[in-house]
Amino acid sequence: MPEDEIDLQLVQAELRLKAARQLQETGFYDDAVSRAYYSMYFAATAMFLARGIRVKTHRGLVARFGREFVETGLIEAHFGRILRIAEELRSEADYSIIRQISDEEAAAILNDADKFLARAKDIITNIRSNL
């Protein structure tokens, strides 16, 4: 298990969440949502690495997260929904010139990302303690 890589993924998750907060506070809601999603992406990647799994794409990560963590009962189902919704909003925020993310949407995703990261850290701690 690549312990250093797991820890680096978690550091990246924390940095992305911090950036998301700053972007949201300054009115860059699209960018805040994108950074919040990437916080969850790095946290989920760390979870996969803790189980010895590598995932290559965003869609693959979201789909496999459901199979590996939600369907097996390792994480509550709402975290799978949070990740899926964040990935969809990130895509809209990054690629749509028509859709504008609101302050409320950004705040909700940042709140979700904070909870997701905390839960990911708990799960990784549990995985590590069971080795």
15, 123, 11, 30: which is closest to 73 by C-alpha?
A: 123
Whole-number Å distance between alpha carbons of 11 and 16: 9
pLDDT at 96: 86
Q: What is the pLDDT of residues 48-99, one digit of tens each?
A: 999 999 999 999 999 999 999 999 999 999 999 999 999 999 999 989 888 8
pLDDT at 97: 85
Task: Catalogue all structural domains in the chain, each as residue range(s) with its CATH number.
Answer: 3-126 (1.20.120.330)
Q: What is the pLDDT of residues 6-58, one digit of tens each?
A: 999 999 999 999 999 999 999 999 999 999 999 999 999 999 999 999 999 99
Q: Is the pLDDT of residue 1 over 60?
A: no
Residue 131's pLDDT band (boundaries 50, 70, 90)? low
Where helices occur in the chain by DSSP H, the ranges are 3-25, 29-50, 58-65, 77-95, 103-129
The answer to whether the beta carbons of residues 55 and 36 sit under 8 Å apart is: no
Residue 2's pLDDT band (boundaries 50, 70, 90)? low
CA angle 108-45-3, nearest 5°? 130
